Amino acid sequence: MSEQNGGGGTTGPGGAVVSVYEDGPLIVRGDFVIADQDGQPIPAGRRTVALCRCGRSAIKPFCDGSHSRTGFRAPGGAQGRRATAPDPAEEPPAAS
Ligand code: FES
């Protein structure tokens, strides 16, 4: 099931959508939790956040706009082999 969100996109079954922006961050909209590697929540403070993917932000995991100053370049969508590769988490377990 999906539904329209305020950003003009469609949310996934969990109620959130992640949008990949050309030369910029990942925008997350909807109902989501951001957690650290130990599972501890990182307060987002809002229903739409920008996550850094350039590695230059001073407020990681959030974007602070540094991607613009550093000339970060990346497509606004999927690229490479991973985009069409099957999800290993969805593959059946190997026979023993
Ligand atoms: S993507 Fe914006 S600071 Fe890294």
Q: What is the pLDDT of residues 11-47, one digit of tens each?
A: 556 689 999 999 999 999 999 999 999 999 999 999 9
What is the domain extent for residue 46?
1-70
Which of 57, 59, 69 most suits a substitution to test ligand 1, by most atoms within 8 Å of the C-beta?
Answer: 57
Is the residue at 77 inside a domain?
no
Is the residue at 82 inside a domain?
no
Is the residue at 9 inside a domain?
yes
What predicted TM-score, i.e. pTM, was given to this entire model?
0.75
Which of 59, 67, 73 most suits a substitution to test ligand 1, by most atoms within 8 Å of the C-beta?
Answer: 67
Is the residue at 90 inside a domain?
no
Interatomic CA distance for residues 21 and 51, integer angstroms: 10
Ligand 1: which atom is nearest the Cα of residue 68? Answer: 2
Count of the separate structural domains present in the chain: 1
Check whether the bond before 61 is cis (ω within 30° of 0).
yes
Is the residue at 14 inside a domain?
yes
Distance 65 CA to ligand 1 centre (A): 5
Is the residue at 22 inside a domain?
yes
Is the residue at 81 inside a domain?
no
C-alpha distances in Å from residue 91, one per residue of 11, 60, 87: 24, 32, 7
